[in-house]
Chains A and B, each alone.
Chain A
């Protein structure tokens, strides 16, 4: 039965109340989803932390036999994978991002609430999948970077790496969906008056982080797909004896991996940029420069991946280029550090735990940043590669920078999330033990690295002089363990005994502090009208931030906001809960499980569940989701619909996905050994297919035009024509593949065949999805569910269809018509 948003009753409880277990399983409220992310990440953080302490126990003394070499490899692999994919990203993006984005920009939810829930459930499925090796097949042991060809079936014959590959593919998909959602939300759903130069700095960070995710995750997805194909279907994408190169994995991985550092760091920067002004009672220093530096960091981060690969021998030109870009990125980062210091300078400071963590983050991150600049120099980096110096560096960035920011965010926003205050005294103990434990653990690693201790070794000889510092580090790790135990105790204490938090316990500056703690389901009864940066501060103290500080310091009470009168909520429409996101995720999980353990019926069942529940989501609301979007919410996107912006964001990410596939094809075409090669490709057949696909695009726009003018007959005819032409294209591809197979070009015959089939096959899969999508719309049109007012549904499907068309235009040229060109 189609559910419909209903006007809310006058009284609404806060978002945490009511619903029971089913309410949490079917929730699409961004705040509840944020809490689900947080709870999941805290569990994984405990697991990852215990793994780290076991690593440190093993390194306590030379020739230690506490752990075997294999178990040690599993532990450092899972520690890195868990902390990055299941702790830091879920906390920063899933928890803080989810909770704060709508509250910061004055919206009632994210742009796509059900997609948001789907992202969470898929992330949970990914986390469970990554840990299923405990039950069967063992844990992955090739490092969080999974360097080829350690990950090939020949070197890792168990299921361990299979769990890793499938888990990361699901996790990556979930993250991309979140990025589409958040980017669309920030672009289109800002409150009236909230221009880009008025959004909180955390929003700048989340917006640019979302863009980074959309551009950086597809290369990892492609790299993982190649690995999956190697392990399950016998291809040789990373097997040197087949002419391939394991270096391809490094490029694809670090094309993701270095922007990923900023995917983690930028939200941390955003959090610090909220916490420091709040507790300094000053506006953020240099707001425009802070915003531009985030943009510049993100832009540059896409061109620095090669500094992870200096040791692979890329050559002096590439090394120099990557060294320059890596050094350049220090400039915008430096701007941020100086702006934070200037923000605090001269402020009226309140020394809360959140402020402590934020200040410490600036210091610890700067240390990590400085050692990072050293890595930008290729000759220096060659000395430090694979040594403990690198371990020290990235822990100063990811723990000293990012985890300290996360903890600052926890102490800052916890009252808003839970309606309870943390214990400041436990918090201070937590802080000091974290600072001491962190520096005692990681600072000596600089020296060990310079003395030549390699990373990833499970033990060392007694006469190397490394024992003392290793023991010091192990002590530090346990101090850190105690610190985090206190953090968990503080969470429990706060939820059980914590003082109830007022709406604005820190005298905050941004809009989240204008609503109750915890916020009501709908966030804002009336959408705020933003009059400047630091929107809530201006409401309290008047327009000029400095005057606000002066008033506060002089002991003048802040201008109280308007008292909360009973508000008629009949105009507020919130989307109803949905079970489909959970079911889709279960279907995806079943497919992954079936693939890994070889239960092909499970794959089939998972596939059917996934497809049917996606279609179910499409028809869940009678108006295909249009009513989900708040009618009173004036779009901040210049008149472009929210869903259209979302589709465009996704297509932008798809550009990078196909670029990764196409570049692999071009590279491997030249390296392929033996026949057949590109000469097997047939231009007449493919020219016909190209013509068919181009004409299908024509029919698609004609269908849209017919729908827009209310011509139902031609709407159905053109839609049916598009589906038919799509099917002809797919038939042509099936014929082509069959023909090649009979000519002796199997999927795994050589590098050319596998990269060709993979590229063209993925395009074909996109066409097939498009045909399915259009078929569903055709059925809707025939049954009278489309029409002029639903033209956007046709337009969105059309955008996807035309994108598939333009990708084919590129493939036709680069793969087929340039078959005789060997550039790489």
Chain B
């Protein structure tokens, strides 16, 4: 493809270095918060939701700004988010199915699960 055609296709505006640095700062802060949550014993009861929220925030920042989902339109967002939703569904379903097996059937069929 010629440079002109290339330029025609790539008209999408991407953010500059400043935005990237601000996102990086957020990522560092969020990671620090994650590690802190891990070490603070008082937060153990809400450990899972807190970590999931922080992790999701980091994931979203990288995907939206560094991978440019925020700028590249709905097409690529759809191509990525739909499989991501399916992957999440798969993960949750498998864990639930095996959790159910382990907790409810282990005494009966001696699976040895915890």
Q: Are B79 and A821 in contact (CB under 8 A)?
A: no
Flag if B90 contacts A663 (CB, 8 Å): yes
Q: Complex formed: what's the CA distance from A318 to B113 in Å? A: 18
Known: A645-B76, A802-B67, A806-B59. A824 touches B98 (CB 8 A): yes
Nearest CB of chain A from residue B1's CB, rounded to whole Å: 4
Which residues of A have CB within 8 Å of B6? 626, 641, 789, 792
Task: Mark out the residues of chain B between 52 and 98 whose CB falls within 8 Å of any chain A CB in the assembled complex.
Answer: 52, 54-55, 58-59, 62-63, 65-68, 72-73, 75-76, 79-80, 82-84, 86-91, 94-95, 97-98
When C-beta atoms are compared, the residue in chain B nearest to A672 turns out to be B114
Q: State A644–B69 Cα separation when bound (angstroms).
A: 12
- Residues in A with CB closer than 8 Å to B66 are 697-698, 700-701, 798, 802, 805
Docked Cα-Cα span, A702 to B48, in Å, equals 33
> Closest approach, in angstroms, between the C-beta of B92 and any C-beta of chain A?
8
Q: In the complex, which residue of chain A has the Cβ closest to the Cβ of B57?
A: A809
Q: Which residue of B lies closest to A822 (CB)?
A: B114
Are B99 and A823 in contact (CB-based, < 8 A)? Answer: yes
Query: Is A813 in contact with B31, judged by CB distance below 8 angstroms?
Result: no
The answer on a CB contact under 8 Å between B38 and A640 is no
- The answer to the question of A520 belonging to the interface, with a C-beta cut-off of 8 Å to chain B, is no
Alpha-carbon distance A243/B48, docked complex (angstroms): 25
Instruction: Identify B95's interface contact among A648, A799, A805, A823, CB under 8 A.
Output: A823
Cα distance A818–B37 when bound, in Å?
Answer: 11
- Pick the residue among B3, B76, B90 that contacts A219 (CB under 8 A): B90
A639-B9, A695-B24 known; A648 and B55 CB under 8 Å?
Answer: no
- The residues in A between 795 and 810 inclusive whose CB is less than 8 angstroms from any CB of B are 795, 798-799, 802-803, 805-806, 809-810
Q: Is the CB of A652 within 8 A of B83?
A: yes
Are A656 and B94 interface neighbours, CB within 8 A?
no
Q: Is the CB of A667 within 8 A of B94?
A: yes
- What are the interface flags for A625-667 relative to B under an 8 Å C-beta threshold, 1 for contact and 0 otherwise? 0110101000101111100110011011101101110111011
Interchain CB contact under 8 A, A671 and B62: no
User: Would B1 and A652 count as touching, CB distance under 8 A?
Assistant: no
Number of interface residues of A (CB under 8 A): 86
Tell me if B86 and A302 are in contact (CB < 8 A).
yes
Check A809 against B59 for contact (C-beta < 8 Å). yes
A655 to B31, CA, bound (A): 22
A705 interface hit (Cβ, 8 Å) = yes
Q: Are A315 and B104 in touch, CB under 8 angstroms?
A: yes
Residues of B within 8 A of A651 (CB): 80
B34 neighbours in A (Cβ, 8 Å): 812-813, 817
**Contact among A658, A792, A824 for B87, CB-based, below 8 A:** A658
A701 to B52 Cα, complex, angstroms: 25
A214 at the interface (CB under 8 A from B): yes
Query: Which residue of the partner chain A has the closest CB to B88?
Result: A659
Interface-facing stretch out of A51-59, A493-501, A538-546, A686-694: A686-694
A648/B80 contact (C-beta < 8 A), A671-B102, A802-B66, A809-B58 known? yes
Which of chain A's residues have a CB closer than 8 A to the CB of B54? 813
Taking CB atoms, residues of chain B closer than 8 Å to A664 are: 94
- Min C-beta distance of B93 to chain A, whole Å: 8
Any chain B CB within 8 A of the CB of A673? yes
Interface residues as binary, B8-32 with A (CB distance below 8 Å gives 1, 0 otherwise): 0111101011001101100110010
> Hey, which bits of chain B sit against chain A, CB under 8 A?
1-3, 5-7, 9-12, 14, 16-17, 20-21, 23-24, 27-28, 31, 34-35, 37-39, 44, 47-48, 51-52, 54-55, 58-59, 62-63, 65-68, 72-73, 75-76, 79-80, 82-84, 86-91, 94-95, 97-102, 104-105, 109, 111-114
Interface residues of A (CB under 8 A from B): 187, 211, 214-215, 219, 243, 245, 247-248, 251, 255, 302-303, 306, 313-315, 317-318, 623, 626-627, 629, 631, 635, 637-641, 644-645, 648-649, 651-653, 655-656, 658-660, 662-664, 666-667, 670-671, 673, 683, 687, 690-691, 694-695, 697-698, 700-702, 704-705, 708, 789, 791-792, 795, 798-799, 802-803, 805-806, 809-810, 812-814, 817-818, 820-824
The 8 sampled A-B contact pairs (Cβ below 8 Å) are: A626-B1, A644-B72, A652-B79, A655-B83, A656-B83, A662-B91, A792-B10, A821-B48
4 nearest A-B pairs in the assembled complex, by CB-CB distance: A652-B83, A659-B87, A813-B55, A655-B87
